[in-house]
Amino acid sequence: MKPYLAAALQMTSLPDLEKNLVQAEELIDLAVRQGAELIGLPENFAYMGEEADKVAIAERISTTTEQFLKTMARRYQVTILGGGFPVPVGKNQAHNTALLIGPDGEELSRYEKVHLFDVNLPDGNTYQESSTVVPGRQLPALYKSEKFGNLGLSVCYDVRFPELYRHLSKNGAEVLFVPAAFTAYTGKEHWKVLLQARAIENTCYVIAPAQTGQHYDRRQTHGHAMIVDPWGVVLADAGEKPGVAIAPIDPNRLSQVRRQMPSLQHRIFA
């Protein structure tokens, strides 16, 4: 692997599939023009609306989104992660699926979100992802790439469960994807520190695309899509508006950190 530029896109997705994909394409184009070769889209990038409304049109979202990702990857000759969209698994149910697509439009890796966001927050908002989403039953597989290093997938709420990332790092992960739609309430306290923790404890790069702003009703997300290096240094932060966080992924930096802090070699418990 040689150094390359990665991009974590930041969107304000709405309950409108077509508008969201237009926004996504504009940001992909922006990232490519800045030199990005590996691009991540956030959770719910294709549709950000009420769970019941989303699952009602999940078949259309799934089919359209998968074709969109393949078209974008081929058109721009990049590798793209679609960070979370519904793939139907039954009546009024879907998997929250992250999909990695290569420059030839072929599927490289697929992960179905395991940890579902069922939470009553102190700000009065209640989230019940499990009302429509079926959790995945498998830990994410590692995608091994000569060009980009060993890539591990996850989605949003997974970031609170370090055992998932330890599984990936034990299997050789070098770059961790954390596409998200983090709530504004939890994001201001937890988003950055969780990403840094996952990077530091696994000595991996973290690429974290994000949703930001107001989406519908009271649904508001934190933003701050970012890329974090293996030492926990934030290399790029997209702030609070739609845009792109772009930064180099450098194998020399990865090797340096792992030499200086060889914690993965010092594990006592598997």
Q: Which residues are catalytic?
A: 43, 113, 156
State the pairing for strand pair 142-145/149-152: antiparallel
Which ranges constitute the DSSP H helices of 14-134? 17-33, 51-56, 58-76
Q: Are 72 and 25 in contact (CB under 8 A)?
A: yes
Helix axis angle for 162-170 and 184-202, nearest 10°, is: 30
End-to-end CA, the chain: 28
CA gap 261, 258 in Å, rounded: 5
Q: What is the DSSP letter of 247?
A: E
Neighbours of 115 (CB within 10 A): 18
